[in-house]
């Protein structure tokens, strides 16, 4: 009550510049979850699957500014989740993968104008080689000086799951460690930053990679959708919502940015990578006693709504009726948040299917 009254007073003092509900939201520091947004290029003329137009990105920032969101630096979100410190409701983190130079040219000036912090995941070989299209260390240091954080995206942006046949699993993990520790050392040497946050290239990892990376002291970040809480962060593959030209709908952005994690007790699934036609069975045991029928909805890439089977009151079996496609695909599940129209619990599971002869599909 005291907090609310104080919030209302602040609004009066500040005139009408700040909407009352923003303060009310931010005064209620009670959430134990947040949302991480993921972008690559903020540009036109770059590949559509990894690009968002600057004017759409600006709309995202306007929605975050006006919609009662608190945009936090990634280290602050991580620390709050790890240390059980309360977060503002609608806490959002902005991240960019690859350190493309259009981020310095297009996104950074807008972010500065809005006063929003952000994190860039850097593949250091491209910066070290001064590869055209990527930022230089000077540019990265310039953004760092204005509040950006810099984190690890491996040295060479390799596929962490594509072990050459000639290498043993042990040799492969050693090579991955050199990639990941090597990038961390380069970022630290050039900028002093040393978070041990790793964004998996292409959002790809499996249980073995996650286990290794976690044992080396890194927190892993994926490209599967969903809000994040402490459990998901410590799972070794924290969700991030990717945005590109296929996701230009601003209502979709609002829903994702204000989403909550699914109240999950346990998640069971048959594997990460498949080399045959499969219809993976995802079993979600939810910790809510709510009626889920007609409320929980799951969708598969290219297949639309997935039929759901109730195994028990709060245990749902999610399984597509046709095999998943070759390549990366996902199941996305949503459940409306009780009493908060327009907000959803959101959870995603990524699948990777190799070609039927066991070879890797070409990366588009
Ligand atoms: Zn990348």
Closest CA to 140 of 97, 94, 99: 99
Looking at residue 124, its pLDDT comes to 98
User: Residue 29 C-alpha to ligand 1 middle, in angstroms?
Assistant: 33
Closest CA to 269 of 207, 210, 221, 327: 207
User: Residue 8 C-alpha to ligand 1 middle, in angstroms?
Assistant: 43
Domains of the chain as residue ranges with CATH: 31-259 (3.20.20.370), 265-353 (2.60.40)
Looking at residue 21, its pLDDT comes to 33
User: Residue 77 C-alpha to ligand 1 middle, in angstroms?
Assistant: 22
Can you name the residues that pair with 341 across neighbouring β-strands? none
For 202, which DSSP code?
G
Q: Please, which pLDDT band fits residue 29 given cuts at 50, 70 and 90?
A: low
User: Residue 342 C-alpha to ligand 1 middle, in angstroms?
Assistant: 31
Looking at residue 329, its pLDDT comes to 96
User: Residue 202 C-alpha to ligand 1 middle, in angstroms?
Assistant: 6
The mean pLDDT value for 97-103 works out to 98
SS3 category, 51: strand
Q: The tokens of 133 are what?
A: 């299209």
pLDDT tens digits, 150-187: 999 999 999 999 999 999 999 999 999 999 999 999 99
Would you say 304 and 310 are in contact if contact means Cβ atoms under 8 Å apart? no
User: Residue 296 C-alpha to ligand 1 middle, in angstroms?
Assistant: 32
User: Residue 98 C-alpha to ligand 1 middle, in angstroms?
Assistant: 5
In what side-by-side order are the strands of the sheet with 315-319?
Answer: 264-268, 281-286, 315-319, 308-312
Instruction: State pTM to two decimals.
Output: 0.91
Q: Please, which pLDDT band fits residue 247 given cuts at 50, 70 and 90?
A: confident
Closest CA to 273 of 319, 194, 208: 208
Looking at residue 27, its pLDDT comes to 37
User: Residue 361 C-alpha to ligand 1 middle, in angstroms?
Assistant: 17
User: Residue 97 C-alpha to ligand 1 middle, in angstroms?
Assistant: 5
Q: How many CB atoms lie within 10 A of CB 303?
A: 16
Q: How many CB atoms lie within 10 A of CB 294?
A: 7
User: Residue 258 C-alpha to ligand 1 middle, in angstroms?
Assistant: 25
User: Residue 52 C-alpha to ligand 1 middle, in angstroms?
Assistant: 15
CA distance linking residue 288 with residue 306, whole number of Å = 21
Would you say 187 and 140 are in contact if contact means Cβ atoms under 8 Å apart? no
DSSP string, 206-229: -HHHHHHHHHTTPEEE-S--B-EE
């Amino acid at each position: 009550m005291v907090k609310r009254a104080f919030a209302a007073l602040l609004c009066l003092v500040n005139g009408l510049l700040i909407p009352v509900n923003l303060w009310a939201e931010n005064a209620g520091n009670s959430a134990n979850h947040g949302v991480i947004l993921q972008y690559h290029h903020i540009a036109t003329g770059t590949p559509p699957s990894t690009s968002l137009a600057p004017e759409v990105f600006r709309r995202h920032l306007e929605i975050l500014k006006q919609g009662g969101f608190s945009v936090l630096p990634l280290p602050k979100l991580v620390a709050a989740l790890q240390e059980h410190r309360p977060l503002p409701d609608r806490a959002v983190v902005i991240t960019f993968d690859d350190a493309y130079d259009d981020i310095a040219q297009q996104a950074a000036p807008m972010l500065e104008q809005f006063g929003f912090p952000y994190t860039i995941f850097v593949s250091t070989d491209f910066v070290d080689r001064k590869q055209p299209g990527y930022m230089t260390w000077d540019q990265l240091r310039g953004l760092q000086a204005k509040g950006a954080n810099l984190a690890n995206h491996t040295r060479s942006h390799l596929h962490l799951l594509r072990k050459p046949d000639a290498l043993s699993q042990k040799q492969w993990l050693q090579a991955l460690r050199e990639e990941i520790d090597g990038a961390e050392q380069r970022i630290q040497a050039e900028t002093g930053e040393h978070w041990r946050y790793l964004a998996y290239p292409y959002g790809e990892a499996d249980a073995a990679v996650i286990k290794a990376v976690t044992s080396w002291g890194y927190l892993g970040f994926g490209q599967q959708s969903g809000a994040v809480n402490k459990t998901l962060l410590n799972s070794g593959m924290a969700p991030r919502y990717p945005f590109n030209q296929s996701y230009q709908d601003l209502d979709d952005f609002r829903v994702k940015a204000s989403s909550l994690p699914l109240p999950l007790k346990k998640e069971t699934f048959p594997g990460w990578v498949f080399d045959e036609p499969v219809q993976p069975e995802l079993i979600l045991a939810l910790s809510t006693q709510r009626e889920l029928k007609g409320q929980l909805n799951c969708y598969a890439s290219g297949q639309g709504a997935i039929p759901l089977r109730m195994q028990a009151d709060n245990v749902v079996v999610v399984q597509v009726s046709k095999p998943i496609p070759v390549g990366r695909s996902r199941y996305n599940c949503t459940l409306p948040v009780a009493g908060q129209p327009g907000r959803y619990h959101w959870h995603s599971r990524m699948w990777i299917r190799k070609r039927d002869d066991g070879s890797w599909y070409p990366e588009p």
